[in-house]
């Protein structure tokens, strides 16, 4: 009854307030507070309500302001616990098993979100994860147009076989190494989201510093966002196909064999339509393709194979539906009923619905074919296409606008003191690698400013090797450019980079060996932040190049006991050289003392060296004797493939 009356009074008076003292959601049982920094505690209460906060041997009083917000600051504590944190107002809150130690924010995209339970040796690692001094809190995924006051519902979890399978794997293995070395509690705030680009993690303060990121004011709410999106997309679609989206029911004949599609533009398949003039389009697009069959082909048992379609399809042959499903990574294979195919002209029509991200056909060209008896008829190539309609976006996704993830998942945490940040992100920014040389340092400076810690440690993972080896090209690589943008960021003080080219997976963007990632992040922290100078934290770091006749001599720091060529045969791989023609060729390379000598028999005047400058540099094998790999690098300053490619929203 008391709570009901309180709520009724507040409603009738139009007052801003709360009937019970509440804590911000970052506070729960088992939380870890940052040692050696003032402890900030905050929440909501009734306007003017006096709130008492107590921890260990200290207590402070504060009161709620006119909006019901209250904040208390306790003196710094040394590592210790478990303690009880109590908050007393008109009601009392008690948090148990509170520790004081070091808190690290783990953020980025899917490779930071990737869990222990998804990683190598998961069953063993989870079974052996009883570490009561290691805790994680997972920040719920959310977006917001403006910074919000609090995160979604969350709770700190103690590392154990019942919980650790859901911990960030990179964060867990990082924390485990630190806890073992330092003997203090380690807390991980896991604010990560698969597939996110860096722009969504920037604050509006950071956006204002970069004109190309602050092109237009952000929408105030979802309705304004949707209106802007639809206006922009209708204009784009009209330019692309000569007309806008069509009304419901107007496409009934688009699947028929005799429908006239001569005026339709074309799309290549397999290839996402975003790469072909329909950038950012989420909605429905029809594809049509005519094919001629012989009488024998038309009479044979047939299956239609379309590769993968993002996200859903409805597939027709000569006007009759033969299949359809949803699943962006599921190959389509549909049986064609006997008698449906005809000698001469036949028509395939596919209605594709994309709900976000890439849209249309994707995968290998060879996966798109009509198998008719012994004949395989290729379907990859040009298809007639037309946009039917656009999706109502509703709430935007994290990549639809800048700063959305920061506003909802990071901004509410900036009053919670932390020791530093570990970061694993960049895959989503590969197409804009050159711009990443600016946006990544901007994010680091931004977050340091948000926490008011100008030299807050920031350790990050360079992109691992990925994509099939046969697709590697010495002519250039956007993945190599992103890795180099990350390498260049190590010029900022208080940063450190983990090289992961040796633990990647050609067929999976998510390397499972997160234990190596976490350990290498911990080495960066132990040396850079905790002052353990005897630790080798880096592989060989390129420093300088000198020309000696027809050879180039490379020097390195961070040699960790000496340079080695990893592998049983001792052959050094991964180097390429070029002369003024700028045409790179695979080079001969050898270790000579503490140098690497690089040459090519057909290049008498080499001017540039690149190492590991490939999508997948897993065969690049320059290491130091401490077992850490060298980062890919280049000695030239020639243009990149991604120069001039900018973020747009």
In the chain, where the domains are located: 1-90, 101-216+401-462+512-539, 245-390, 541-630
Q: For 378-430, how does the pLDDT look when each residue is reduced to its tens digit (9 = 90+)? A: 999 999 999 999 998 888 999 989 999 999 999 999 999 999 999 999 999 99
517 pLDDT exceeds 50? yes
Query: Binning pLDDT at 50, 70 and 90, where does residue 1 land?
Result: very low
Query: What does pLDDT average to over the chain?
Result: 95
CA distance 296 to 372: 9
Query: Is the pLDDT at 102 greater than 50, yes or no?
Result: yes
pLDDT of residue 249: 82
Q: Is residue 13 over pLDDT 50?
A: no
Residue 553: both structure tokens together: 């001599």
Asked if residue 15 has pLDDT above 70, the reply is no
| 445-480 residue pLDDT tens | 999 999 999 999 999 999 999 999 999 999 999 999
Find the helix packing angle between 514-528 and 169-182, rounded to 10°.
Answer: 40
Structural contact between residues 23 and 72, judged by C-beta atoms closer than 8 angstroms: no
177 has a pLDDT exceeding 80: yes
pLDDT of residue 348: 98
C-alpha–C-alpha distance, residues 35 and 599, integer Å: 53
Structure tokens at 55: 């921890």
The pLDDT tens digits of the residues spanning 550-575 come to 999 999 999 999 999 999 899 999 99
Domain 1-90 belongs to what topology? Immunoglobulin-like (2.60.40)
216 pLDDT tier (thresholds 50, 70, 90): confident
Instruction: Work out the average pLDDT over 592-598.
Output: 96
Percent of the chain with pLDDT over 90: 92
* pLDDT above 50: residue 167: yes
Q: What is the mean pLDDT of residues 618-634?
A: 98
Nearest of 304, 321, 313 to residue 367 by alpha carbon: 304
pLDDT of 213 reads 85
Rounded distance between C-alpha atoms, residue 217 and residue 225, angstroms = 11
Which pLDDT value is given to residue 36?
A: 98
Overall average pLDDT of the 505-533 stretch: 97
Query: What percent of the chain stands above pLDDT 70?
Result: 97
Q: How far is it, in rounded angstroms, from Cα 386 to Cα 243?
A: 9
Give the closest residue to 433 by CA, choosing from 613, 618, 576.
613
- pLDDT category of residue 12 using cuts at 50, 70 and 90: very low
Q: Domain 101-216+401-462+512-539 falls in which CATH fold?
A: Rossmann fold (3.40.50)
Region of poorest pLDDT, from 119-123, 331-335, 640-644, 645-649: 645-649
- Report pLDDT digits (tens) over 220-237: 999 999 999 999 999 999
- CATH 2.60.120.260 is held by the domain 245-390: yes
Q: What is the DSSP string of 334-399?
A: EEEPTT-S-SEEEEEEEEEEE-SSS-EEES-GGGEEEEETTEEEE--EEEEEEEEEE----SPPTT
d(CA 508, CA 466): 7
Question: Is 17's pLDDT higher than 60?
Answer: no
Distance CA 632, CA 617 (A): 8
């Amino acid at each position: 009854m008391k709570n009901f009356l309180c709520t009724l009074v507040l409603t009738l008076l139009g007052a801003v307030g709360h009937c019970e003292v509440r804590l911000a959601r970052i506070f729960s049982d088992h939380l870890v507070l940052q040692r050696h920094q003032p402890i900030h505690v905050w929440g909501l209460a009734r306007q003017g309500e006096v709130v008492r906060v107590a921890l260990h041997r200290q207590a402070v009083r504060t009161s709620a302001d006119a909006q019901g917000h209250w904040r208390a600051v306790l003196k710094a504590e040394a590592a210790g616990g478990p303690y009880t944190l109590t908050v007393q107002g008109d009601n009392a809150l008690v948090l148990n098993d509170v520790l004081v130690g070091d808190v690290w924010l783990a953020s980025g995209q899917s490779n930071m979100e990737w869990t222990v339970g998804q990683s190598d040796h998961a069953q063993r690692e989870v079974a052996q994860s009883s570490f009561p001094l290691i805790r994680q809190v997972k920040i719920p995924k959310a977006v917001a147009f403006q910074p919000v006051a609090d995160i979604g519902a969350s709770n700190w979890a103690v590392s154990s076989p019942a919980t650790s399978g859901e911990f960030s794997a990179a964060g867990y293995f990082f924390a485990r190494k630190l806890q073992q070395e330092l003997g203090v509690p380690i807390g991980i705030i896991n604010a990560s989201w698969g597939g996110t680009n860096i722009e969504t993690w920037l604050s509006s303060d950071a956006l204002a510093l970069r004109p190309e990121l602050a092109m237009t004011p952000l929408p105030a709410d979802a309705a304004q966002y949707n209106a802007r999106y639809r206006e922009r997309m209708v204009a784009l679609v009209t330019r692309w196909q000569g007309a806008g989206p069509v009304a419901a029911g107007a496409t009934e004949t688009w699947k028929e064999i005799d429908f006239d599609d001569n005026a339709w533009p074309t799309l290549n398949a397999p290839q996402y339509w975003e790469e072909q003039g329909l950038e950012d389009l989420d909605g429905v697009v029809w594809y049509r393709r005519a094919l001629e069959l012989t009488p024998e082909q038309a009479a044979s048992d047939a299956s239609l194979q379309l590769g993968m379609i993002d996200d859903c399809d409805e597939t027709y042959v000569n006007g009759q539906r033969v299949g359809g499903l949803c699943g962006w990574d599921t190959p389509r294979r549909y049986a064609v009923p006997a008698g449906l195919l005809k000698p001469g002209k036949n028509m395939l029509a596919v209605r594709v619905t994309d709900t976000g991200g890439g849209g249309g056909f994707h995968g290998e060209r060879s996966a798109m074919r009509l198998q008719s008896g012994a004949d395989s008829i290729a379907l990859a190539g040009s298809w007639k296409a037309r946009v039917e309609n656009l999706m109502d976006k509703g709430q935007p996704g994290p990549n639809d606008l800048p700063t959305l993830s920061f506003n909802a998942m990071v901004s509410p945490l900036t009053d919670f003191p932390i020791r530093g940040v570990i970061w694993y992100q960049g895959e989503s920014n590969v197409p804009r690698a050159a711009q990443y040389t600016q946006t990544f340092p901007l994010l680091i400076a931004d977050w340091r400013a948000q926490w008011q810690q100008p030299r807050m440690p920031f350790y990050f993972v360079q992109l691992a090797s990925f994509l099939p080896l046969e697709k590697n090209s010495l002519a250039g690589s956007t993945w190599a450019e992103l890795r180099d943008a990350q390498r260049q960021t190590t010029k900022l003080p208080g940063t450190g980079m983990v090289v992961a080219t040796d633990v990647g997976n050609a067929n999976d963007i998510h390397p499972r060996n997160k234990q190596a990632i976490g350990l290498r992040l911990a080495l960066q922290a132990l040396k850079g932040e905790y002052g353990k100078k005897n630790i080798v934290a880096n592989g060989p770091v390129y420093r300088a190049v000198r020309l000696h006749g027809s050879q180039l001599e490379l020097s390195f720091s961070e040699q960790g006991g000496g340079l080695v060529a990893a592998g049983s045969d001792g052959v050094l791989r991964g180097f390429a050289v070029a002369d003024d023609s700028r045409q790179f060729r695979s080079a001969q390379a050898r270790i000579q003392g503490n140098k690497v000598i690089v040459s090519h028999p057909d290049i008498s005047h080499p001017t540039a060296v690149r190492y590991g400058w490939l999508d997948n540099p897993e065969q690049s094998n320059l290491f130091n004797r401490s077992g850490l790999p060298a980062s890919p690098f280049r000695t030239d300053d020639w243009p990149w493939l991604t120069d001039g490619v900018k973020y747009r929203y």
